[in-house]
Amino acid sequence: MASISTRCAFLFFKRCQIARGRQTLNVARRKMSIKILDIGTPIVALSDARRFISDCMVAVGTPREYGDILAENLIEADYRGHYSHGMNRLDMYVRDVQGGLCDPKAAPCIIKETPATAWVNGNNGLGAVVGIYCMDLAIEKAKKSGIGMVVVKESNHYGIAGKYSLQAMEQGLLGMSFTNTSPLMAPTRAKGSALGTNPLSLGAPAANGDSFVLDMATTAVAVGKIEIQKRKHEPIPEGWAQDESGNITMDAHVAYDAKRLMPLGGPELNSGYKGYGLGVLVEIFCGMLGGSAYGPNIRKWGDSSKKADLGQCFIAIDPGCFAPGFPERLSDFMGFLRNMEPADPAKPVLVPGDPERLHMASVDEAGGVRYVQDQLDTCKSLAESLKVKPLIPT
Amino acid sequence: MASISTRCAFLFFKRCQIARGRQTLNVARRKMSIKILDIGTPIVALSDARRFISDCMVAVGTPREYGDILAENLIEADYRGHYSHGMNRLDMYVRDVQGGLCDPKAAPCIIKETPATAWVNGNNGLGAVVGIYCMDLAIEKAKKSGIGMVVVKESNHYGIAGKYSLQAMEQGLLGMSFTNTSPLMAPTRAKGSALGTNPLSLGAPAANGDSFVLDMATTAVAVGKIEIQKRKHEPIPEGWAQDESGNITMDAHVAYDAKRLMPLGGPELNSGYKGYGLGVLVEIFCGMLGGSAYGPNIRKWGDSSKKADLGQCFIAIDPGCFAPGFPERLSDFMGFLRNMEPADPAKPVLVPGDPERLHMASVDEAGGVRYVQDQLDTCKSLAESLKVKPLIPT
């Protein structure tokens, strides 16, 4: 939410929300595109970025259909501004397939089901392929029963959790998704880590194409934010991470090496145990219900010695089964929130999903995404080693 | 979670978890009962506390059956150590009934349903009566369909959210509940408040009678914690509350008067926007889906000029629809967490539900709960004004 925070972008976005006029929106987009994307590297069209990902995956034995699904998943993350989960992850997926840790041809299958639930085996396929299958199943069940809940075992990293909420929202439904991940969070009071960043997402459709999209890790921050402070040689705020002895640290270098993230809330005094509880909640919906690896049994981040065997959960809900007028009520409520008086006039009140909308508008305006040089270098190496047509900047 | 924190209680509790023997458990209970309950006021048996609540409610026109349901609800809160939601709330319920704001005779009814969902009208009945009805309905649907989701409008305060999770757990199911509440939380960046403390709960049954019970407000803390600091003339930690201008305050007096709680996570830098997002998530499941009052439209806390018209949501899930062995996996995982090396040897790692277990053991050992004098005075006044047999300490 804080990744895009220029004064003019937010103020113009605020005007968009109030005016909702095409002209105002376009002015906002132009202003933002200057602020956000003018960093001096070439622009890559989304279509070419997708093509490149799919080509790379096909080169290591992935069926084209599945390569396209993964490409769509990763580029959605970049488009929404979540660069850590986009093109940045491609070489990891390629390595997992090359190392035999993930089967790029595998299709998920249902183990057992009711009209409203299903337990699925991901068969160690690509997480994006497994995820889209499971959410489709949850959607189908929600359309018949009002709610559908699908839990999968033997899955792999599935990208941004919000992707599956969006999938349900395209059908006019509420969507939720959860995944367990490699252990990085230290439970409240513990020295070591035992839970992942364990994200959860809820998406809900409002009126006139507006929407609420919450997509959050249950840790205070992701490792990437600590890495940025480390590079700048700046301290981290109290409440982000612990050192190896389990004490709160504000040293970014110590925090990065220890990899003991604190749960949302930070220290116990500030209710960090609630974030820890939410991390366990996600694990209950994933590893506990799904029968996959869980908690400390999940392979460490970067471990290439064993399969991920992740558990994931997908829920779709038909708002039509409850009080009529859901999208209108949600729009009214979000409008109220966005129009609240801010403590700092330069920082208007947003709702979850707004920062991503800002980023998408800027990408649309620029005609593509602008990757950092390090990312472009990785793509170049991948293109060469896999003998794939390289990314073509516009 | 932090309310019970004596060194001996936790160390003995830890021994209970490892040994699981009756003898060790009893020693732990004795030690804890001395620490927790030895505060010099008389002990009230749970049965008499329940009788008193039911008598008071019957005296203002509540059917005995409903009075008993409310009594069971409030005393469950006291038994678990959540005194703010127990006997402490009785005079509020009495006043709401006397003032015609809540109909103590009203029974909830189904407006529409599918095999897995229901939309219910609480008909402005007692929240505890509405809640038990809705969770029973969710349980019935989960037993047939694998999952049941029930959303209600026109409800009233329903006590601790965890009560309904426990109700589902008694049937071997996972239970969740959510309620919107009077506006007290300031959204990230906003000056004023627009959301309640909006609690959520998940309960899940483990093996051998063990369980996970998360019951948390989506604000960093409840107003009660600020009140305690105010009485002690001590500051509050950064991240609990804002002043009237929307700035973070550490002055307990200022925070108490402003009533602008910060969301879980605290300031934006520490990801408070995630707690804010979770507060909206609860509102989506309650007011948005249910068609009740929502967000800033809910009456202010203490307002006796209009009905509460709260929205609530109840979900029951049958773990048998997914991977076999759910309770055993959950026990294994919770055992791992409890046995993690703590940063401070005096503070063992707990899982959600453990602090309540400690408190219940101490109440069992003492033979009842020990209310503060102020609470006993309120009960005496109620007994006199309603012409009800007073509480009889043992």
pLDDT digits (tens, 9 = 90+) for B129-163: 999 999 999 999 999 999 999 999 999 999 999 99
Pairing mode of beta strands A248-249, B310-317 = unpaired
Clarify whether residues B162 and B241 are in a common domain.
yes
**pLDDT for B197:** 97
* Residue scoring higher pLDDT (B60 or B4): B60
Q: Do A216 and B277 touch (CB under 8 A)?
A: yes
The residue of chain B nearest to residue A194, with distances taken between CA atoms, is B337
Retrieve residue B74's tokens: 């409030």
Instruction: Give domain status of residue B12, yes or no.
Output: no
What is the rounded average pLDDT of the residues B18-31? 36
Are the C-beta atoms of residues A296 and A287 closer than 8 Å to each other?
no
Structural domain count of chain B: 2
Give the phi and the psi of residue B250 in degrees, each rounded to 5. Answer: -115, 5
Retrieve residue A79's tokens: 């488009």
What is the rounded average pLDDT of the residues B347-376? 95
Retrieve residue A23's tokens: 């002209």
pTM of the model: 0.92
Q: Do A289 and B247 touch (CB under 8 A)?
A: no
Retrieve residue A82's tokens: 């979540």
Retrieve residue B376's tokens: 């006993």
> What is the rounded distance in angstroms from the CA atom of residue A88 to the CA atom of residue B347?
40
C-alpha dihedral, A241 to B267 to B2 to B310, nearest 10°: -130
Separation in Å, CA of B384 to nearest CA in chain A: 40
Could you count the other beta carbons within 10 Å of the beta carbon of residue B372?
12
Partner A contacted by B278 (CB < 8 A): yes
CATH (domain of B218): 3.30.1370.60
Q: Which residues, listed in sequence order, are joined to residue B342 by a DSSP beta bridge?
A: A190
> What is the rounded distance in angstroms from the CA atom of residue A121 to the CA atom of residue A127?
12
Residue B239 to residues B191, B220, B249: CA-CA distances in angstroms? 15, 7, 8
Clarify whether residues A144 and A247 are in a common domain.
yes
Separation in Å, CA of A300 to nearest CA in chain B: 17
Per-residue pLDDT band at B39 (split at 50, 70, 90): low
The residue of chain B nearest to residue A281, with distances taken between CA atoms, is B202
Of the residues B321, B342, B375, the one at which a domain ends: B321
Beta-carbon contacts of A34 under 8 Å, excluding residues fewer than 6 positions away, are none
Q: Residue A174: its chain B contacts at CB < 8 A?
A: 284
Q: For chain A, give the number of residues.
A: 394
Give the phi and the psi of residue B302 in degrees, each rounded to 5. Answer: 90, -10
The residue of chain A nearest to residue B1, with distances taken between CA atoms, is A273
The residue of chain B nearest to residue A338, with distances taken between CA atoms, is B190
The A residues from 342 to 371 touching B (CB cutoff 8 Å) are: 342-344, 347-352
Instruction: Give domain status of residue B22, yes or no.
Output: no
The B residues from 20 to 59 touching A (CB cutoff 8 Å) are: none
Q: Do A326 and B288 touch (CB under 8 A)?
A: yes
Question: Coil, helix or strand for B248?
Answer: strand
Of the residues A275, A302, A321, the one at which a domain ends: A321
Give the phi and the psi of residue A179 in degrees, each rounded to 5. Answer: -145, 145
Q: Residue B341: its chain A contacts at CB < 8 A?
A: 190-192, 246
> What is the rounded distance in angstroms from the CA atom of residue A354 to the CA atom of residue A347?
13
* Residue scoring higher pLDDT (A22 or B100): B100
Q: Which candidate from B116, B191, B317 shows the least CB-CB separation from A145?
A: B116
Are the C-beta atoms of residues B13 and B341 closer than 8 Å to each other?
no
Domain that holds residue B361: 34-99+353-386
> What is the rounded distance in angstroms from the CA atom of residue B89 to the CA atom of residue B74?
8
Could you count the other beta carbons within 10 Å of the beta carbon of residue B132?
23
**pLDDT for A39:** 57
The residue of chain A nearest to residue B346, with distances taken between CA atoms, is A189
Instruction: Give domain status of residue A345, yes or no.
Output: no
Are the C-beta atoms of residues B178 and B199 closer than 8 Å to each other?
yes
Chain B interface, mutation test: which of A288, A328, A350, most B Cβ atoms within 10 Å? Answer: A288
Pairing mode of beta strands B211-216, B200-205 = antiparallel
Clarify whether residues A150 and A212 are in a common domain.
yes
**H-type helices in chain A, by residue range?**
7-19, 22-37, 46-59, 64-79, 90-98, 127-145, 162-169, 223-231, 252-258, 272-283, 289-290, 326-338, 354-366, 373-386
Q: Do A246 and B343 touch (CB under 8 A)?
A: yes
Clarify whether residues B134 and B250 are in a common domain.
yes
Partner A contacted by B202 (CB < 8 A): yes
Clarify whether residues A137 and A192 are in a common domain.
yes
* Per-residue buried b or exposed e for A135-155, using 16+ beta carbons within 10 Å of the residue's own CB: bbbbbbbbeebbbbbbbbbbb
Instruction: Give domain status of residue A28, yes or no.
Output: no
Instruction: Give domain status of residue B19, yes or no.
Output: no
User: Residue ranges of chain A with pLDDT lower than 70?
Assistant: 1-40
Partner A contacted by B7 (CB < 8 A): no
CATH (domain of B66): 1.10.1530.10
Question: Coil, helix or strand for A146?
Answer: coil
Partner A contacted by B175 (CB < 8 A): no
Beta-carbon contacts of B257 under 8 Å, excluding residues fewer than 6 positions away, are B244
> What is the rounded distance in angstroms from the CA atom of residue A188 to the CA atom of residue A345?
36
Clarify whether residues A77 and A205 are in a common domain.
no
Q: Which candidate from B114, B212, B268 shows the least CB-CB separation from A145?
A: B114
Clarify whether residues B209 and B76 are in a common domain.
no
Beta-carbon contacts of A84 under 8 Å, excluding residues fewer than 6 positions away, are A77, A222, A224
Clarify whether residues B241 and B302 are in a common domain.
yes
Q: Which residues, listed in sequence order, are joined to residue B120 by a DSSP beta bridge?
A: B110, B152
Q: Edge-to-edge strand order for the sheet containing A200-205?
A: A109-113, A117-121, A147-155, A310-317, A174-179, A200-205, A211-216
How close are the terminal C-alpha atoms of chain A, in Å? 29
Question: Coil, helix or strand for B238?
Answer: coil
Beta-carbon contacts of B22 under 8 Å, excluding residues fewer than 6 positions away, are none
Clarify whether residues B185 and B44 are in a common domain.
no
Query: Which of B70, B99, B273 lies closest to B190 in space, CA to CA?
Result: B273
Q: Residue B322: its chain A contacts at CB < 8 A?
A: 117, 119, 151, 289-291
Instruction: Give domain status of residue B343, yes or no.
Output: no
Instruction: Give domain status of residue B10, yes or no.
Output: no
Q: Residue B114: its chain A contacts at CB < 8 A?
A: 145-146, 321
Q: Edge-to-edge strand order for the sheet containing B211-216?
A: B109-113, B117-121, B147-155, B310-317, B174-179, B200-205, B211-216
What value of ipTM does the predicted structure carry? 0.92
Clarify whether residues B148 and B95 are in a common domain.
no
> What is the rounded distance in angstroms from the CA atom of residue B360 to the CA atom of residue B117?
34
Q: Residue A247: its chain B contacts at CB < 8 A?
A: 343
CB pairs under 8 A between A and B: 273
The residue of chain A nearest to residue B190, with distances taken between CA atoms, is A342
What is the rounded average pLDDT of the residues B381-387? 98
Question: Coil, helix or strand for B339?
Answer: coil
Are the C-beta atoms of residues A168 and A203 closer than 8 Å to each other?
yes
Are the C-beta atoms of residues A337 and A354 closer than 8 Å to each other?
no
> What is the rounded distance in angstroms from the CA atom of residue B249 to the CA atom of residue B261?
10
Q: Which residues, listed in sequence order, are joined to residue A260 by a DSSP beta bridge?
A: A242
Chain A interface, mutation test: which of B333, B334, B354, most A Cβ atoms within 10 Å? Answer: B333
- Name the DSSP letter for residue A234: -
- Name the DSSP letter for residue B181: -
Q: For chain B, give the number of residues.
A: 394
Clarify whether residues B135 and B272 are in a common domain.
yes
Of the residues A275, A304, A321, the one at which a domain ends: A321
The percentage of residues in chain B with a pLDDT greater than 70, rounded to a whole number, is 90
Matching residue, tokens 């035992």 = A194
- Per the rule left: phi > 0, alpha: psi between -120 and 50, beta: everything else, B22 is alpha
Retrieve residue A150's tokens: 């699908």
Clarify whether residues B247 and B127 are in a common domain.
yes
Query: Which of A178, A108, A164 lies closest to A136 in space, CA to CA?
Result: A164
> What is the rounded distance in angstroms from the CA atom of residue A112 to the CA atom of residue A109?
9
Could you count the other beta carbons within 10 Å of the beta carbon of residue A364?
13
Partner A contacted by B222 (CB < 8 A): no
Residue A334 to residues A218, B275, B280: CA-CA distances in angstroms? 23, 16, 9
**pLDDT for A44:** 97
Q: Residue A278: its chain B contacts at CB < 8 A?
A: 214, 216, 278
Pairing mode of beta strands A200-205, A211-216 = antiparallel
Beta-carbon contacts of A338 under 8 Å, excluding residues fewer than 6 positions away, are A14, A17, A348, A349, A350, A351, A354
Chain A interface, mutation test: which of B153, B249, B270, B283, most A Cβ atoms within 10 Å? Answer: B270
Instruction: Give domain status of residue B131, yes or no.
Output: yes
Q: Which residue type occupies A346?
A: A
Packing angle, helices B162-169 and B127-145, rounded to 10:
40
**pLDDT for B19:** 37
Burial tier of B66 (Cβ tally within 10 Å: 0-12, 13-18, 19+): buried
Separation in Å, CA of B266 to nearest CA in chain A: 7
Element (H, E) at A69: helix A64-79
